[in-house]
Structure 1
């Protein structure tokens, strides 16, 4: 494996692209929570049962690879997983050091090339959402560690990019938000046009569609995986708030307005499925970024965060209508979202070629 950053051809020019999340997976990657970076020690114990349920749910239909910091953490994680009844034959714990647990953002972006049956990794830069939560040096090294483990070539574009900020339909289109990708705390010297070129060159897309912002309480500056998700090539499921007194009403209504104006590469408008929001989830007076849109698609299921509220079942039903061939698994994410993310934020899929 080697760094291909000096090659003349971009990944897109070589035929590589980032597939949609429903494309078959080799595995799902996680980073085991082991510090108080996102959860206090007490909160970490409270969220752990749901986190273990999440791992077990993934492993029902595909392998799970976990960055587990060091041998001590590996042994602790193994004991917790065994006590929780996890199928250890499907779980691999690796001593890759991490600062935090949000593998969607610090993990590798796997590209595939169907013509050559090759895969490669994009080693985007990572700065903990604009330098908000140092240190993040170990997280920034995770893509190259996994590239060496998988014996895959990797390419380093030299700019900051987070997996939760981009959503793909697998047919040439990526959705993202201006509030995040154009934020000066990421790539202050790049214009919108330059960022779009990076997305096209290194994700293999041909079209970038922009929404303005994200939900209240989201410390990532508006990640798309809390608001709009592709469920097939021309359909999105999009969070909506109908209560005009709710703080999320205005930004989500604006996103739906923007989505209705969009056209795909084939000229078609988006099919838009409305996804209800949970009631406000708060901690110590702080609004947390609770959203049913932060689900993970696996080979056999869709794992959906729930929040002990009346809209849990309607949201599960709506997502189920979008994925008729997959099992819909709701897991209580009330304690996990205290860390300001949920199941999609915690995970990164590794596609098959």
Structure 2
């Protein structure tokens, strides 16, 4: 049997990929790098942070302190660590961690991701756990676990024909149960964010913050294009049940005001937070709802510091804080 640790459980380190001149961050590279430095520095106050980068010496120069920071050289296509990094499970029979290296295709072939897809196998020696290559297209931002048998996802992403067209819903459920050891798959059929390239990743919409609680994006503006879809998603969340037949406790996060760059609406979402040991890194956007989101998280995340980080630059590339990070459970060590 396998066990899929939840993000709110104890961690060993967080991995991120630093922006480089050959990435899509090039037009505002220094602005993007400043944001990544802030994220890595915040993580390092609580636990180690492994930074994948094209030039270690240059990237090191951006940090005033290297405490709890580790660097490994590899040039990726882009910087969305959540979706091209391995996913960690625990093999309960062997009592050891196992790293699952799924196939990453740039969210269904939208972008070149060949180097991103090869990253984990190249970095395998950096991880203190065996790695298994999995012949399934899957991104980390597309699934959420509550550490108690349930996996939450969206049909728009996992059943999209641009991912695994040979699998129907039942076939995908069987794959997820096999690889992650979960008992049930909870599907959301509604909910999206304008400007999102991922086909509605769950980590932009609804997140487990403990075994019983889901935090989700709620839109109260009836004139907003997202109102109907997010209202239907909220109704679906209310109908979900855990493996014991109990409803989940739901906590609503506000919807950001419409945010644009180059006349394109951006997927600004407070649900794209990162839970780490002792803290939650919360993306904010210089939006009127920032203070409300911070207050909600301070109340909901008992015993964890709330660390707001301005991620306005990240959403220009259609992702946010959770999308550029990947946490590893305490059972996985770093080799260096």
TM class, shorter-chain normalised? Answer: over 0.9
Instruction: Mark the runs of 5 or more structure 1 residues left unpaired by the alignment.
Output: 1-14
Aligned match of 1:140 in 117, 135, 141?
A: 117
Instruction: Return the TM-score normalized by structure 1.
Output: 0.90
Aligned position for 1:80? 62
Secondary structure, counterpart of 1:329 in structure 2? strand
Contact kept in structure 2, 1:121 and 1:143, CA below 8 Å? no
Match of 1:32 in 2: 18
| Aligned residue runs from structure 1 range 70-149, under 5 A | 73-81=55-63, 85=64, 87-113=65-91, 116-134=94-112, 136-149=113-126
8 A contact 2:22–2:77 mirrored in 1: no
* Match in the other structure for 2:35: 50
1:18 aligns with 2:4: yes
8 Å CA contact retained: 2:49, 2:70: yes
Aligned partners of 1:57 and 1:294: how far apart in 2?
Answer: 16
1:195 paired residue number: 172
Find the counterpart in structure 1 of residue 334 from structure 2.
Answer: none
Contact 1:108–1:146 (CA under 8 A) maintained in structure 2: no
Q: Report how far residue 115 of structure 1 moved.
A: 6.4
More strand by share: 2
Q: Within 5 Å, which residues of 2 pair with 1:237-248?
A: 237-248=215-226
Q: 2:244 matched to 1:288?
A: no
Determine which of 175, 179, 192 is the counterpart of 1:214: 192
Partner of 1:163: 140
TM-score, normalising length: structure 2: 0.95
What per-residue deviation string (whole Å, max 9, x for no partner) do you get for residues 130-178 of structure 1? 11111x1111122223333224222222010000000110111111001
2:279 match: 301
In structure 2, distance between residues paired with 1:145 and 1:204:
26
Instruction: For residue 129 of structure 2, give the secondary structure of its aligned residue in structure 1.
Output: coil
Q: CA deviation at 1:192?
A: 0.9
Q: Secondary structure at the match of 2:103?
A: coil
For the aligned residue pairs, the C-alpha RMSD in angstroms reads: 1.4
2:243 is the alignment partner of 1:265: yes
1:301 Cα deviation after fit = 0.8
Check the 8 A contact 1:260/1:269 in 2, yes or no.
Answer: yes
> How far apart, CA to CA, are the structure 2 residues paired with 1:115 and 1:90?
32
Q: 2:155 aligns with which of 178, 184, 190?
A: 178
Could you report, residue by residue, the CA deviation over 1:15-44 in whole angstroms, capped at 9, with x for unpaired residues? 3222110111110011111145432x2322
Aligned residues: 330
* Structure-2 residue corresponding to 1:333: 311
Contact 2:274/2:321 (<8 A) preserved: yes
Q: Secondary structure at the match of 1:89?
A: coil
* Structure 1 contact 304–343 (Cα < 8 Å) conserved: yes
